[in-house]
Amino acid sequence: MTRPYYHSALFFGWKDEPTFRGHIRDMLLELKTLQGSFTGDNLITFDKNLSFLSDEVFMTAFERHAQTKVEKGILWRTATLAWAAKNALRLSGDFVECACYKGTTARILCDYLDFGSQAQRTYYLYDLFEHDPSMPHHHMEEHGAGLYEAVKARFSDLENVVITRGRVPDSFVEAAPDAIAFLHLDLNNAEAETAVLEALFDRVVPGAAIVLDDYGWLFYRAQKLAHDAWFDARGYSVLELPTGQGLVIK
Ligand SMILES: C[S@@+](CC[C@H](N)C(=O)[O-])C[C@H]1O[C@@H](n2cnc3c(N)ncnc32)[C@H](O)[C@@H]1O
């Protein structure tokens, strides 16, 4: 079934949610057709192909695992990751996510690509799983003593997913790949992301996509500035996507 549009009420930073929602509804009513319209995750677009809505395997995986308002609202971001991860299947190398939190996007990508059948590859997931007040990233609702076990249970059917608890990049001594075909950085922390790039960039294989979740968001501008300086110094530039992500192809 082709879905013609996708509407979520996830908007970060709005002051008066009911009024803002009303304006979006009025705007949508002004359109000749809702086909090709997308709202959510601080995006309002219309008259677009929204190709990911026609990818049944992706949408089935997304709908199975995206449960909260935020998870459902970041569909377009998740579709970027799905594209980058699918691109990785024509390369040799493993998958890495720093950091995975509840593992939702990684679980969607595993289902989408039937990652369990990729016996020669491993998906490395890292997180602290508990909030560490000494670090700049913010506390998230599910952080706590049980999260690590819950994420392990979420991937218990997949032998080629390795979950490492602890602070990156220090925790790479426990487990880390030699060759990386897909790298997703989502630490909300410029210093840690730069340290991860220092540790892993040389292991990213040519043609692999690096997705920087926070790059385009004003709230996380320190990350953009740090990434621009880091990549510029190595002759790469980051593409800012309308989703708020940054994209680098090595
Ligand atoms: C926004 S969440 C990640 C969401 C996840 N990528 C997803 O798509 O569902 C950011 C996570 O980064 C983790 N984090 C921040 N700094 C870290 C570090 N140095 N080492 C490990 N995890 C870290 C936090 O614990 C938090 O769970």
pLDDT of residue 164: 98
Please, which pLDDT band fits residue 1 given cuts at 50, 70 and 90? Answer: low
The count of other CB atoms within 10 Å of the CB of residue 27 is: 13
Q: Is the pTM of this model over 0.85?
A: yes
C-beta 70 within 6 A of ligand 1: no
* Angle of the 75-88 helix axis to the 56-65 helix axis, nearest 10: 120
CB 196 within 8 A of CB 97: no
Q: Among 131, 137, 147, 163, say which to mutate for ligand 1: greatest number of ligand atoms within 8 Å of CB.
A: 137
Q: Beta partners for 18? A: none
- Burial class of residue 11 (count of CB atoms within 10 Å of its CB; 0-12, 13-18, 19+): middle
77 CA → ligand 1 middle, Å: 16
For 148-167, how does the pLDDT look when each residue is reduced to its tens digit (9 = 90+)?
999 999 999 999 999 999 99
235 CA → ligand 1 middle, Å: 27
Residue 152: enclosing H or E segment and its boundaries? Answer: helix 147-154
**Residues 194, 233: Cα–Cα separation, whole Å:** 13
188 CA → ligand 1 middle, Å: 7
DSSP string for residues in 42-89: TEEE-S---GGGG-HHHHHHHHHH--SHHHHHTHHHHHHHHHHHHHHT
**Residues 178, 59: Cα–Cα separation, whole Å:** 32
DSSP string for residues in 87-143: HHTTS-SEEEEE--TT-HHHHHHHHHHTGGG-TT--EEEEE--S--TTSSSPP-TT-
C-beta 250 within 6 A of ligand 1: no
With H, G, I as helix, E, B as strand and everything else as coil, classify residue 212: strand
Atom of ligand 1 nearest to the CA of 103: 9
CB 57 within 8 A of CB 79: no
- Lowest-confidence segment of 11-20, 89-98, 219-228, 230-239 by average pLDDT: 11-20
CB 75 within 8 A of CB 52: yes
Atom of ligand 1 nearest to the CA of 130: 25
CA angle (21 as vertex; 186, 82 as ends), nearest 5: 30
For 50-73, how does the pLDDT look when each residue is reduced to its tens digit (9 = 90+)?
999 999 999 999 999 999 999 999
For 121-152, how does the pLDDT look when each residue is reduced to its tens digit (9 = 90+)?
999 999 999 987 777 767 788 898 899 999 99
239 CA → ligand 1 middle, Å: 22
C-beta 195 within 6 A of ligand 1: no
C-beta 128 within 6 A of ligand 1: yes
1 CA → ligand 1 middle, Å: 34
CB 216 within 8 A of CB 247: no
Most distant CA atoms of the chain, gap in Å: 56
CATH code for the part of the protein at 56-249? 3.40.50.150
Q: How many residues does the chain have?
A: 250
**In sequence order, what are the residues at sequence separation of 6 or more whose Cβ sits closer than 8 angstroms to the Cβ of residue 167?**
128, 132, 135, 192
C-beta 168 within 6 A of ligand 1: yes
C-beta 192 within 6 A of ligand 1: yes
For 69-83, how does the pLDDT look when each residue is reduced to its tens digit (9 = 90+)?
999 999 999 999 999
Q: Where are the domains of the chain?
A: 6-45, 56-249
